[in-house]
Structure 1
Amino acid sequence: MNVHPTIISAISEDGSLYPVEKLKAHSDGLFHLAVSIFVFDGDHLLIQKRAASKYHCGGLWANTCCSHPYWDEPIDSCARRRLREELGFNVPLSRRRVVEYSADVGNGLHEHEKVTMYIGTADRATLEIQPDIREVEETRWITCEELHAEIANHPEHFTPWFRIYAERYPDLIF
């Protein structure tokens, strides 16, 4: 596992934030901040297949982009930064709801996140997607109905958090 240490924001029981190394947050199942981005073109959602080399959930399909803000990084800045870093484009993002979830992500790692959800729109006919191959293996556009059918038939092809989001918000309306 080739992971560079990244300091992110963990959340203590009293709600205050403290710095923690990202891999420690996942190995110890610490509650921490995250972002999830959903870019739509009409009824189609852009999803990504995580690079096989990722330290967890490699080769699985996820929403457009997910990440963790660096320690003391504004959450909106993180969302914009990671969309650009992972997929090579920018679109205006609208902050939506904040959700919490907890899930085993394999390899002895556990996500316990307070996630700020973002929605963006794009025209898939003109959007230039330039994925960072260290992060993203593949992208595609999918309708909500197609997504639910694929998750029902092959849940193992999708990340745990994406399955949780699809179950909690079946219309992908955040």
Structure 2
Amino acid sequence: MNRHIIIPAIAGDGTLYPVEKMEAHVKGLLHLAVSVFVFDGDRLLIQRRAAAKYHCGGQWANTCCSHPHWEESLEACAERRLDEELGFTLPLMRHQTVEYAASVGEGLSEHERVTLFSAQVDSKSLEIVPDPDEVDAVRWITPEDLHQEVSAAPQDFTPWFQIYLQRFPGLKFD
């Protein structure tokens, strides 16, 4: 995995400036990100991050998350990472942007301004081909079952995914 990616960080005046991704996580700099949620009806496709990921390895997260490269659009980033991580593309609907900060272990933190994207699909017709360097497992889950699992074993889920579940309990955006 290339950890030396340049991403857009956000200055105090709201302007964007380029920063190395790991520097943003070490220093807790506010930066841009995307989160994708793929649904089949009310069931959400979730992924368990590969154990070797630089943070939160082995934890469950929403369908896909990433950072746009410097000068890459949020839409292009969401589409690119869905394909890179899970091996498929879908038409994505853009939703609101949220901000959060969370420790992700190993002395790293996320301080992100995240634009949410979603898609609806018939899971029977979706071929999922996870990249093993990115994803250990995928599965479909209802919001109710997801809340029960997070309550029973929060350590199994990424901090940002838990934040999304608190802010959007039914996983409905806008």
Q: Assess if the C-alpha contact under 8 Å between 1:3 and 1:55 holds in 2.
A: no
Aligned counterpart, 1:16: 15
Aligned counterpart, 1:78: 77
CA distance in 2, matches of 1:133, 1:18: 32
Consecutive unaligned residues in structure 2, runs of 5 or more: none
SS at match of 2:125: coil
Aligned counterpart, 2:172: 173
Count of aligned pairs between the two proteins: 173
Q: CA deviation at 1:4?
A: 3.0
The yes-or-no answer on 1:91 pairing with 2:90 is yes
CA distance in 2, matches of 1:4, 1:75: 19
CA distance in 2, matches of 1:119, 1:74: 16
Q: Counterpart amino acid of 2:72?
A: E
Q: Counterpart amino acid of 1:165?
A: Y
Correspondences of 1:126-137 after superposition (within 5 Å): 126-137=125-136
Q: CA RMSD in A?
A: 0.8
Runs of 4+ in 1 over 2 A off after TM superposition: none
SS at match of 1:125: helix
- Structure 1 length normalisation: TM-score? 0.98
Identity of aligned residues (%): 61
Aligned counterpart, 1:159: 158
Aligned counterpart, 2:45: 46
CA distance in 1, matches of 2:3, 2:32: 19
Aligned counterpart, 1:147: 146
Q: Assess if the C-alpha contact under 8 Å between 2:3 and 2:21 holds in 1.
A: no
Q: CA deviation at 1:43?
A: 1.1
Consecutive unaligned residues in structure 1, runs of 5 or more: none
CA distance in 2, matches of 1:118, 1:167: 17
Q: Assess if the C-alpha contact under 8 Å between 1:95 and 1:119 holds in 2.
A: yes
CA distance in 1, matches of 2:127, 2:160: 26
